[in-house]
Amino acid sequence: MTPQPPSQQQQQQQISPVGGGAETVREQDKPHLVLAYILGLFLIPLLTVKDSPFVQWHAKQGMVLSLVGLASLVIAYVPVLGYVVCPLWVGMAVMAVMAIVKAFAGQRWRIPVIADLAEKF
Nearest to 64 by CA among 92, 44, 86: 92
The three-state DSSP-derived secondary structure of 94-111 is HHHHHHHHHHHCCCCCCC
pLDDT in tens, 71-120: 888 888 888 887 888 788 888 889 999 999 999 999 999 998 899 999 98
Confidence band for 8, pLDDT divided at 50, 70 and 90: very low
